[in-house]
Structure 1
C-alpha cells in the first residue's frame, strides 16, 4: 500500500446504500485541496481508487506533500458532504456497476433502469455544482457472466457520461479494458498505471480541473442578495420613446465589464467536444448540437410534477406544481438552439421554476429540429400545441383565458410568430429573441459601436460577434430553399400589424449580437400601442438563462417572466420574490 494512503479509513456500501464516502486532503501549490471519493468500495483494497488518487496526487500535489485520508463523512451523498467538508472535487468510482445490478432486480424494463440511474447521476451533479465542486465520473467497463443482459444499459450510460455537458471530465475505463484485452491476446505486458495516466490526461482536461480547484470566491453574496443588489441599482434609459430597464452587474469588479461568473466560466469551461459525425450541407450539425446547453440547477422549493405527453402529435413535457387541480394559468415554453439543437433537458429547470411561480402549468414543446425537419415544420409543431391546449384546456386543468408563451433565442422567434397569429395568447416573453435574418433592414442599423467599449476586452468583442453573419447558416440548415427572409413567419419584425401583439416582455444581453434587433422589436411593438417591457442585463452574453442557479441574471429573468405573465392574466399579486 502506498505510504501516502496509509491513514485511510473507509466504508463499503450496502444493498440499501450503495455509496461509501471518504474525504482526502492534499497540499497543492494553491493550498490545501479537499477531494471526496464516492463509490461502492472506497477502501484501501480498491485498486482503482488508489491508482486514481496517485495520479491526482502527481498532478496536484507538491513534492513534499502527502495525501491524508480523513474518516468517512457519511454513507450517503448529500449537501452535508459540502457544508461540513468544503469539497473541491468529486470523483465517482466503482458504484455505477452495483447500482445497475441492484436496480435491475427491481425493474423489468431497461429504459426504466436507465432513467432512474441517470436521474440519480444528475442529482449528484447538481449538488456538486451548486456547491462549487467539480465532478468526474468513470465509465462502466464490460460486464461478464450473468450481467451481460445489462449491456444495453451499460452502453447507454457510458454514452451519457461521454457526451454529458454537465460533467467536468471522465475516465474511460472501457477503453482501458479494451486495451488490456488487446494486449493480453498478444501476451504482452501492459502498464496499468501508464494507461490510466494517459486516459486521465486525455479525458479529464487536467489544466482545466486544476484551475477549477482554485478557491472559488466569486459568490461572496448569496444568489438572493445578488438579485436584490442588481434590482436596487437598476436604472432606466430612454431610447426612441421607450424606457429600457438596465440591470447592472450585481457585484462589479474594476478589471472587467463582464460579470465575474461569466468571465470565470468562459476562462475555465470544459473544452468543446468534437467527433459527432453528423454533417449536413457541409455543416457539422452533430458537433454544434453536442456543444449546446449548460448546467443549470433546480431552484424550486416545492414538488413540481412532470409528465411526458404527446400533444396533437408533438412530444411535450408538462410541468405542474403538486396539488394543483384546475383553472390554472399556463405558459407554453419553446427552447432555443438555433433551430437545429437545444433540448427539453436544458430548459427543464427554468420550466419547473416558472410552473412553481405562476402556480400553474408549463408545457415545454419538443418541436422538430432542422435540418432533418426544415422550416416550417418546427413552427407548425408549436402552432399545433397551442391550438390543441386552447381547445382541450380541460385535459390539463388550464384556464384557456390565461395562456402565455415564452421562448429563448430561436425559440423566441417561434414563440412571437405564434403569438402574433393567435388572439387568445395573453402574454409573450421573448428572451434574447431572433426576430429577423436580414441585418440590413429599415428598423435598425446594426453596428458594433452601438455597444459600450466593444474593443476594450477581447472577450466582449468575441461575445458580441459570436452570432453575427449567421444568415447563410440559417438559410442552409433551417430554410433550405429560396424564400424571402422578410416573411412574417421567418422575420417577425417585418409584421405589418404589431398592434395585435400581446403584452410583451423582451430580455436581452448587453454583449449579444441579437441585443440590437431584440430591442428594436420591442420598440416597434411599443410604438404600435402594446404594453411592452424591455430589460437589458449588463455584463452578460447570449444564452445566460442556461445557467439558472449559477448566474443571478438567469433567476431574475424567470422572476420577471412570472411577474409580467401574472400581471397580464390578472393574477398580479400572486407572485412574491
Structure 2
C-alpha cells in the first residue's frame, strides 16, 4: 500500500528539525513539516481525531476516565489492539514464530524478523510493545519493526509477554527479561551479533525495556548494548525532583487546539495509576519507577516523545537525568503529536521518521 502522505513531508521533517536545550540537555526537535503554528496539532492527526474530539467535548467528565473493571479492560484492549499502521515495507521480511520457555514454566511467544538482505553478524533489535501492561500486542507495532528492519537490514525480535490483570506484576516483566536472555544465548544461530543487542519499547514497553536493562546491569551479564525508550512510563510513582514536576503549563497549545489537547491529557491522566491493574501497591519500586534510580552506568539511550503526550515531561526529565549522569543520550521530540506514533506507520510521516531515527541510533552505537 502507499503512504497517506508524500515523501516530501518526510524530507521536510529533516529540513525543519532543530536542536535546542531543554532542562540543560540537547533535544532534537522535529517541527511540523508544513506548519509554523506554535503548539498546533499535526494537521493530519487533527483531521483524523476531529470527530472524536468533538464527541469528547460533550461527554460528562466521569465517562472520560479509563474504566479498569473487567469489562472496561476488555473494551480498552479492543481499542489498544487495533491495527492502525499501513504496510509500506517493500522488501521481503521473513517472520518466524517461536516460543521461549518462561521462568514460571509458561510459553512466551516471540517473532523473529529477517530481511532478504540481512547483514552478516547483524545488530539485534529486541522490541517490547506497549499497551498499559494490560493491552497491545506485537501486531500493533509489527509494521514499525519491519520498517526498521527494512531500513537497516538488522535482525529483530518481538515478544508477546503475559498481560495484567490476569497475570499480576512481575509476570510480564519476567517474560521480557527471560526473552532477552534467550536472545543473548541463541541469536548467533539466527545470524545476529550477541554483542550488539538493543532493547526497545513504547509506552509501557519502555518501562519493560528499562527493566531488562536494569536487571542486566544488576546481574552483570552485559547483554544490552543500548536501549530505546519510546514515550516511556518510567515514573509511575510521580516522584518529583529538580527535573520533574508535572504541570499543564509545560504544554504549548495553539488556541484552536487547546481544548482538544487538554481533553487528551485528561484522559491519559486516568491511566497513570496502573498499580491496581498490575496487582501491586509498590509502584515506587526501582523497576516500575526506574526514574528514582541513579542512572549512572546505563548503556547509550534513545528517548523520543510527542509534544502533547502526557508523558512528555516525564520523558524529558528522564533524558536530562540520564545525560547529566554521563549516560550517552539522544532525545527526539515530535511537535504536534501526542502518544503512540509507532502505531501509525504509513499514516503519519513522523512515525516513519521515528523508525529512521531508531535505525540510525542502532547503527551508530554499534560501530
| TM-score interval, normalised by the smaller of the two chains | 0.7 to 0.9
- What corresponds to 1:190 in structure 2? none
Give the SS at the match of 1:345: helix
Cα displacement string for residues 446-468 of structure 1 (whole angstroms, at most 9, x for unaligned residues):
00001113765211212333311
- What corresponds to 1:493 in structure 2? 291
In 1: Cα distance, 2:287 partner to 2:305 partner = 21
- Closer, same or farther: CA 304–269 of 1 in aligned 2, 3 Å: farther
In 2: Cα distance, 1:446 partner to 1:454 partner = 20
In 1: Cα distance, 2:118 partner to 2:29 partner = 35
- Bigger-Rg structure (1/2): 1
In 2: Cα distance, 1:528 partner to 1:330 partner = 26
- What corresponds to 2:34 in structure 1? 251
Q: Give the total of aligned pairs.
A: 343
Equivalent in 417, 427, 445 of residue 211 of structure 2: 417
Structure with more contact order per residue of length (Cα contacts < 8 Å, sep ≥ 6)? 2
- What corresponds to 1:461 in structure 2? 262
Deviation at 1:394, TM superposition (A): 2.5
Deviation at 1:351, TM superposition (A): 1.0
CA contact (8 A) 1:455 1:461 kept: no
- Closer, same or farther: CA 257–323 of 1 in aligned 2, 3 Å: closer
- Closer, same or farther: CA 394–495 of 1 in aligned 2, 3 Å: same
Equivalent in 82, 86, 89 of residue 300 of structure 1: 89
In 2: Cα distance, 1:510 partner to 1:440 partner = 21
- Closer, same or farther: CA 440–531 of 1 in aligned 2, 3 Å: closer
- What corresponds to 1:506 in structure 2? 303
Residue 446 (str. 1) matches residue 265 (str. 2)? no
- Closer, same or farther: CA 131–377 of 1 in aligned 2, 3 Å: closer
Deviation at 1:383, TM superposition (A): 0.4
In 2: Cα distance, 1:534 partner to 1:364 partner = 23
* TM-score, length-scaled by structure 1: 0.57
In 2: Cα distance, 1:518 partner to 1:256 partner = 18
Deviation at 1:435, TM superposition (A): 0.5
In 2: Cα distance, 1:244 partner to 1:253 partner = 19
- What corresponds to 1:316 in structure 2? 110
Deviation at 1:395, TM superposition (A): 2.5
Q: Say what the alpha-carbon RMSD is for the aligned residues.
A: 2.3
Give the SS at the match of 1:318: strand
- Closer, same or farther: CA 568–489 of 1 in aligned 2, 3 Å: same
Residue 347 (str. 1) matches residue 141 (str. 2)? yes
Cα displacement string for residues 59-107 of structure 1 (whole angstroms, at most 9, x for unaligned residues):
xxxxxxxxxxxxxxxxxxxxxxxxxxxxxxxxxxxxxxxxxxxxxxxxx
Q: Name stretches of at least 5 consecutive residues in structure 1 with no aligned partner.
A: 1-126, 133-218, 273-278, 571-577
In 2: Cα distance, 1:131 partner to 1:568 partner = 30
Deviation at 1:409, TM superposition (A): 0.3
Give the SS at the match of 2:196: strand
Equivalent in 352, 360, 363 of residue 566 of structure 1: 363
- Closer, same or farther: CA 302–471 of 1 in aligned 2, 3 Å: closer
Equivalent in 221, 225, 228 of residue 426 of structure 1: 225
